Amino acid sequence: MSKPTVITGAAGFIGFMTAKRLLSQGKPVLGIDVVNDYYDPALKESRLEVLGQYENFRFERFDLDDGERVRSLIGEIQPELLIHLAAQAGVRYSLTNPGAYSRSNLSAFVNVLEACRHAQTGHLVYASSSSVYGMNKSYPFRESDVVDHPVSLYAASKKANELMAHSYSHLYGMPTTGLRFFTVYGPWGRPDMALFLFTKAILAGDPIQVFNRGHMMRDFTYIDDIVEGILRVADMPATADADWDPGHPDPASSSAPYTVFNIGNGNPVKLLDMISALENELGIVAKKDLLPIQPGDVEVTAADVSRLQEAVDYRPSTSLAQGIHEFVAWYKSYYAVS
C-alpha cells in the first residue's frame, strides 16, 4: 500500500471533503484533528463517521500544539504529501480569543514544518487565506500584490504561515505551497460562515445580520472546486523559480521551492445578491438587520486565479445558484428540516 496522505484538520470542512475525495479514489489517508468546540463538535464527529466508513482511513485525535507527538507521528508515516488544513479559523473570533490563533496557527504550524523537515516530506501544501490581502484595494487580488497590512490577527497569522513556510523552503529545500482560500462554501460547511448562518436563521423565521448593509463582495467558491484545486496542486510540488529576481522580488515565488496561489472562483458577488439567491432557493424572503461593517472585515475579496489556471489548469465550474442549491439540500437532509 502506498504511503498515506496526511491531512490535518480532517474533521474540518475543507479537510473532511479533501480526505473524502482521496478515500473515494482508493487512496489511504491519515487524518489528524483535535475536534475542538469552536463550532458544534457534533458536526465534526459526523464528518469523521463518514470518513470512518473507508477502510483506508486512519484517524489520530490530538492537538498539533503537541510538537513531540506531531514529529513522532509524521516520522512514523514518512509521508510524501502533507496537506495542512488545521487552523483556528474566523476573523471575528480573533478579536476576543487571540491566544487561540498563536497556538493553533503559529505554534502548531512550526511543529508541522519541523515534522515535515525531519521526515523529508516531499510536499507540504498548507491553507493560507484571502484575508492576507487586508487593506489592499487593488482588485482582483493577485499573488504578486504586497500583503503587509492585515486587518485582523487571523489574517496576520496566515501571512506569518507563508513567511514561515518560505524560511523552511529556503533553509532545507522543502517544497511548500500555500493556498489562499476565498470564501469556501457548500455541503458540510462551517456553521460560522454566512451561508450557513443565513440558512439556519431564515428557516427558523429569525432575522439575519447583514454587515456593511450587504454591500460587501465575496468571491464565493464551491467546495468541490476547492478540493479539485488542492489535489491538482498537491500533485505538483513547488519548485525554485530560476528567474526569480531578488532586486524585484515576486512575493508568490522564490529561488527556493516555494509558491503561493489564490484559489477562488474569480467571480465576486455582492452579499445582497447571495442572499437573494438563497431566498429564491428557500422560497422565503429573509428578515434583514442591516448593520455596519465589523472590525477585521474587508469590503471586497476578489481572486485573480490566472496563476493557478496556468499551473494546473484550475477552472472552477460551479455557479453560485447551483452551489447554494447543493448546500440547502444537504442542510435540510442533515438537520431533518422540511
Out of 38, 101, 154, 314, the active site residue is: 154
SS3 70: helix
Among this protein's residues, is 93 annotated catalytic? no
| Distance in angstroms (rounded) separating the CA atoms of residues 105 and 86 | 8
Rounded-to-integer distance, Cα 330 and Cα 324, Å: 10
Contact 21, 55 (CB under 8 A): no
Q: In what helix (H) or strand (E) does residue 227 lie, and over which residues does it extend?
A: helix 223-234
Phi then psi dihedrals of residue 13, to 5 deg: -60, -60
Cβ-count burial of 287 within 10 angstroms (0-12 exposed, 13-18 middle, 19+ buried)? exposed
Of 190, 310, 296, nearest to 261 (Cα)? 310
Distance in angstroms (rounded) separating the CA atoms of residues 234 and 175: 11
Which residues are registered as beta bridge partners of 126?
84, 178
Residue with cell 502548531: 108
172: Cα within 13 Å, side-chain hemisphere:
20
Q: Is there a contact between 138 and 145 (Cβ–Cβ < 8 Å)?
A: yes
**What residue type is assigned to position 309 of the chain?**
Q
In angstroms, rounded to a whole number, what is the distance separating the alpha carbons of residues 168 and 33?
Answer: 23
Active-site residues, by number, are 154
